[in-house]
Amino acid sequence: MARTSGSRASETGPRIRAAALRLFARQGYAAVSMRQIAAEVGLQVGALYNHTPDKQSLLCDLMETHMTDLLAACAAQDWPQDPARALEGFVRFHIRFHAARPDAVFMAYMELRNLAPENFERIEALRNAYENRLEVILSQGVACGQFGLSDVRIGTRAVIAMLTGLTTWFRPEGGKTLDEIEEVYVTLVAQAVRV
Amino acid sequence: MARTSGSRASETGPRIRAAALRLFARQGYAAVSMRQIAAEVGLQVGALYNHTPDKQSLLCDLMETHMTDLLAACAAQDWPQDPARALEGFVRFHIRFHAARPDAVFMAYMELRNLAPENFERIEALRNAYENRLEVILSQGVACGQFGLSDVRIGTRAVIAMLTGLTTWFRPEGGKTLDEIEEVYVTLVAQAVRV
DNA sequence: GTCTATAGATGGATAGAC
DNA sequence: GTCTATCCATCTATAGAC
């Protein structure tokens, strides 16, 4: 209560996580040291351990936060009954959500193998829950004859890979706006699965 | 000439590279130690340095070998004049080549950021040369009115991402054979780009 | 809650004997 | 060409002063 020293103490945790996210995404979990994270935040190494039990927990927290944010945002969307319209909505939602947080997406994709086994299982379950949203849409479209997909499971993975791949090359300063790219993807996906 | 000691000395280099490839793909470059690689081959650490100047060169060699193999195989294909048939050929070629070497593909994709800058540039150029093969096919299809793609550059990247994503989940022991999966992808891609 | 200091382990890479 | 032994840097995590 005596000190007001610049910022609330409770903001240090989030700042550490933000720095770790940046660094993990750019250099990879194994290549980033706790010292580097501390320096990025303006702390000494020891101080980090007031905010996380260890490096692995830091990674796991970031991954879990990203996945639960994704699932929450996905659930908050309103999903049209019509499969074709739902699919279009999914493509737009996925692109916008992922393009808005490239670091988290990149990390979530690349660092799965650096999770301890029990952490991996939990994160993997969250990921499957998300992909299931798309799989249900494709199934419904096939069931009612709107989509001509010969294998829903493969189609789901193909579409997810195509959409997520966008974040590996999209740069806001590039020639195309995100809106323009979104339109191209909407068309590509819609045509790919139609009868 | 005196010793025949089990195997030719000249096979040690390839065995080191094979072990490094396996480990880099499974755990990531930064997470793998030279001691681990040596143990996998049945050597002590110091002996590795008779076959590679350092760890970075080992990674770079593996990446470059993979990319030049890919380009050579791609050039050896015979490519139909007709864009639709060429596109089908590309999909089949890409899937087969990549499914046959999942470790190399995974490493080539994940470890780009661990290359020293000058190495990165060289590998990136090789990658662009490969993607250009697809871009040319799509351009020709658009030019002659067979494809309805609204942006060739985006389409190229979307298709590559979709195809390469296959290697992150395909397992030979899974329910589908590679041939079956290949057919699904051929259809998905052909439909995605048609007018 | 952050600091300094350090423990204890492990990393890449080298030297010299064989 | 491989071994043993080692240098030296760096790493994660902890201890204790403030």
pLDDT in tens, B154-186: 999 999 999 999 999 999 898 899 999 999 999
Q: Over B80-143, what HEC string results? A: CCCHHHHHHHHHHHHHHHHHCCHHHHHHHHHCHHHCCHHHHHHHHHHHHHHHHHHHHHHHHHHH
Pair B38, B70: CB distance under 8 Å: no
What is the predicted pLDDT for the residue at B4? 42
Shortest distance, CA B179 to any CA of chain A (angstroms): 13
Type of residue found at B52: T
Q: Any atom of strand D under 7 A from CB of B6?
A: no
Q: Are residues A75 and A106 in the same domain?
A: yes
Residue in A closest to B183 by C-alpha: A150
Residues of B in contact with A157 (CB under 8 A): 165-166, 169
Q: How far apart are CA B35 and CA B44, in angstroms?
A: 7
Q: How far apart are CA A101 and CA A105, in angstroms?
A: 6
What is the predicted pLDDT for the residue at B2? 39
State the DSSP code for B68: H
pLDDT above 70 as % of chain B: 95
Domain stop point among B52, B68, B84: B52
Residue whose C-alpha is closest to residue A20's, from A40, A42, A2, A46: A40
Placement of tokens 């090789």 in the chain? B126
Q: Are residues A29 and A119 in the same domain?
A: no
What is the predicted pLDDT for the residue at B25? 97
Q: How far apart are CA B170 and CA B96, in angstroms?
A: 12
Residue B5: pLDDT over 60 = no
Predicted confidence pLDDT, tens digits, chain A (195 residues): 434 444 555 799 999 999 999 999 999 999 999 999 999 999 999 999 999 999 999 999 999 999 999 999 999 999 999 999 999 999 999 999 999 999 999 999 999 999 999 999 999 999 999 999 999 999 999 999 999 999 999 999 999 999 999 999 999 888 899 999 999 999 999 999 998
Residue B89: pLDDT over 80 = yes
Residue B121: pLDDT over 90 = yes
Pair B191, A162: CB distance under 8 Å: no
Q: Are residues B95 and B156 in the same domain?
A: yes
Give how far Cα A141 sits from Cα of A17, A85, A149, A195, B187, Å.
40, 10, 9, 10, 17
**Angle (CA) A18 A21 A26, round 5°:** 130
Residues of A in contact with B164 (CB under 8 A): 161, 165
Q: What is the CATH number of the domain that holds A118?
A: 1.10.357.10
Residue B10: pLDDT over 70 = yes
Q: Are residues A140 and A81 in the same domain?
A: yes
Q: Are residues B160 and B107 in the same domain?
A: yes
C-beta atoms of B165 and A165 within 8 A: yes
C-beta atoms of A157 and B165 within 8 A: yes
Considering only CA atoms, name the residue closest to the C1' of nucleotide C15: B46
Which pTM does this prediction carry? 0.94
Q: What is the DSSP string of chain A?
A: -----SS-GGGHHHHHHHHHHHHHHHH-GGG--HHHHHHHHT--HHHHTTT-S-HHHHHHHHHHHHHHHHHHHHHHS---SSHHHHHHHHHHHHHHHHHT-HHHHHHHHHSGGGS-HHHHHHHHHHHHHHHHHHHHHHHHHHHTTSB--S-HHHHHHHHHHHHHHHHHH--TTSSS-HHHHHHHHHHHHHHHHB-
Q: Are residues A87 and A182 in the same domain?
A: yes
Domain stop point among B52, B68, B95: B52
Q: Which domain holds residue A46?
A: 1-52
What is the predicted pLDDT for the residue at A4? 42
Q: Are residues B109 and B186 in the same domain?
A: yes
Placement of tokens 């789901």 in the chain? A156
- For chain A, the C-alpha Rg in angstroms (whole number) is 20
Name the pLDDT band for B3 (thresholds 50, 70, 90): very low
Q: Which two tokens stand for residue B148?
A: 């309805």
A contact set with B (CB within 8 A): 26-31, 110, 113-114, 149-151, 154-155, 157-162, 164-166, 168-169, 176, 180-181, 183-185, 187-189, 191-194
Q: Are residues A4 and A43 in the same domain?
A: yes
- Mutation for testing the A interface, residue in B178, B191, B193 having most A CBs under 10 Å: B191
Nucleotides of C under 7 A from a protein CB: 1-6, 10-16
What is the predicted pLDDT for the residue at A187? 98
Q: What is the DSSP string of B5-39?
A: -SS-GGGHHHHHHHHHHHHHHHH-GGG--HHHHHH
Q: Are residues A20 and A47 in the same domain?
A: yes
Q: How far apart are CA B11 and CA A88, in angstroms?
A: 54
C-beta atoms of B168 and A150 within 8 A: no
Average pLDDT score, chain B: 95
What is the predicted pLDDT for the residue at A174? 84
B contact set with A (CB within 8 A): 26-28, 30-31, 110, 113-114, 149-151, 154-155, 157-162, 164-166, 168-169, 176, 180-181, 183-185, 187-189, 191-194
* A49, closest nucleotide (Cα–C1'): D13
C-beta atoms of B184 and A150 within 8 A: yes
Type of residue found at A45: V
What is the predicted pLDDT for the residue at A35? 98
C-beta atoms of B187 and A158 within 8 A: no
Q: How far apart are CA A98 and CA B172, in angstroms?
A: 30
C-beta atoms of B161 and A160 within 8 A: no
Pair B67, B132: CB distance under 8 Å: no
Q: Any atom of strand D under 7 A from CB of B42?
A: yes
Q: Are residues A60 and A36 in the same domain?
A: no
Q: How far apart are CA A165 and CA A57, in angstroms?
A: 27
Residue B67 CB-half CA count within 13 A: 23
Q: Are residues B43 and B136 in the same domain?
A: no
C-beta atoms of B154 and A26 within 8 A: no
Domain count within chain B = 2
Region B73-87: mean pLDDT is: 98
What is the predicted pLDDT for the residue at A8? 53
Q: What is the CATH number of the domain that holds B26?
A: 1.10.10.60
Q: Are residues A73 and A154 in the same domain?
A: yes
What is the predicted pLDDT for the residue at B8? 54
Q: How far apart are CA A155 and CA B165, in angstroms?
A: 12
Considering only CA atoms, name the residue closest to the C1' of nucleotide D10: A33
Give how far Cα A147 sits from Cα of A52, A157, B158, Å.
47, 16, 20
